[in-house]
Amino acid sequence: MTAETRDLAALIADVPDFPKVGVSFKDITPLLSSPEAFQACVDALVAASPTDIDVVCGMEARGFIFGAPVALAMGASFVPVRKSGKLPRDTVETTYDLEYGTQTLAIHSDAIKEGDRVLIVDDVLATGGTVAATADLVRRLGGSLVAVSVVMELAYLEPREVLGRHRIDDVTALVTYSE
C-alpha cells in the first residue's frame, strides 16, 4: 500500500454492525469531508485508469460521487446507472441477485454508443454483483468495457471470482481490505 492509499484508508471509517449485526460498513464520508483527500482520491482513480476512455459509468449512488469527477478529469462523458424507475427516458435494464433478494439497474438506451470505450467507477467492490450487472448493460448497448476502478475492494468477499465469470479482468482498487 502506498503512502497515498494509506492516507485514504485512514479516512474510511469502519462502522460495526451496520446496516445489520455482523457487517462492518466502510463509511467514506470522512474522506469526502476533506477536499484534499477527495481530490487525491479522484486523481488516484484517474491515474489508475486507462486514458483512452469515452464514457465513465457510475452506479447509484456513491458511484456518482466518484464517477462524475473522474469523467470530467478524463474528458469523458458520465453515464449514471440507476435503480429501475429512476431514469426518465427509454432504458435498458438488468436484474441481478443480492445476498437477500434482487436488484434491477437501468441505463438510458442511448447513453452508450457502439464501440464506446467504457470505464466503470464505484466507491466499493464488495460481492461484484453491481459491477457485473453494469458491465452487462454496457455490453448490451455495444460498449466495450475497458476497466473498472474503485476506491476500495472488500477482497475477503471474493468479488474478483464473480467478475472473472463475467469476463471482467482489468480491475483496480485504491484500497483493499483482505478481512
Structural domain that includes position 122: 50-177
Structure confidence at residue 85 (pLDDT): 96
4, 60, 62, 160: the catalytic one is 62
Q: Is residue 60 annotated as part of the catalytic site, yes or no?
A: no
Q: Which of 36, 99, 114, 179 is labelled catalytic?
A: 99
Q: What pLDDT is recorded for position 20?
A: 87
Divide the 179 residues of the chain into consecutive groups of 10 and give the mean pLDDT of each group: 77 93 92 95 96 97 97 98 97 88 94 98 95 98 98 95 94 94
Establish if 1 belongs to a structural domain: no
- Residue 2: predicted pLDDT: 66
Global pTM reads: 0.95
The question of whether 99 is a catalytic residue gets the answer yes
- Per the domain annotation, does 4 fall within a domain? no
Does residue 26 fall inside a structural domain? Answer: no
How far, CA to CA in Å, does 52 sit from each of 30, 71, 75, 121, 145?
31, 12, 10, 15, 12
CATH number of the domain bearing residue 78 = 3.40.50.2020
Number of domains in the chain: 1
Is 20 part of a structural domain of the chain? no
Task: Tell how strand 77-83 and strand 55-59 pair up.
Answer: parallel
Q: Is 94 part of any domain?
A: yes
